[in-house]
Copies of this chain bind each other. A is one copy, B any other.
Amino acid sequence: MSLPKPGKPVRGSKSGNHLMALFDLLGRSWSMGIIWRLQEGSCTFRVLQDRCESISPTTLNKRLKELTQSFLIERTVDGYTLTDKGREIFLLLKPLESWAKDWAKKFESNE
C-alpha cells in the first residue's frame, strides 16, 4: 500500500488529500480502538484480540496489515507495537477521551 486505498482515490479525498486518507484509514472499524489498546503496551495477536473483546480475527488481521503498511504499528518478535507515528496519533486522539466523558452527559440529561 502506498497510501490507504491506492489507485482509486480514497473515500472523500481528491488525490493528495492526506487528511482524508487518514480519515479513511481511521474510519474503518476498530482502527482507533486498536491504536488505543496497543498504547496499553505491545502485545501478541491473541492478547490484542482479547483487549478488543469482540473483534473478529479476520478484521483484526486486516486492520493490523493496513496499520502496519501505514507505518502506525509494526511487528516485532513478540507481537505488535505502536511506531513513533502510531504513538503520535494516539496522543492526538487522547483528548477525545475526556471530551467523550463530557459528551455522555448529553445523553443522560436534558441539557
Contacts and interface: CB of A to CB of B under 8 A. Distances in A.
Given A2-B107, A12-B52, A12-B54, A96 B22 contact: yes
Given A2-B107, A12-B52, A22 B92 contact: no
A71 B2 CA distance: 36
Interface in A16-45: 18-23, 26-33, 36
Contact of A92 (B2, B71, B96): B96
B52 A29 contact: no
A11 to B, nearest CB: 6
Shortest beta-carbon contacts, A-B, top 4: A18-B100, A12-B33, A18-B104, A22-B100
25 contacts: A3-B104, A3-B107, A11-B30, A11-B33, A11-B54, A12-B33, A12-B52, A12-B55, A14-B53, A18-B100, A18-B101, A18-B103, A19-B36, A21-B104, A22-B96, A22-B99, A23-B32, A26-B27, A27-B28, A27-B32, A27-B33, A71-B103, A88-B99, A89-B96, A89-B99
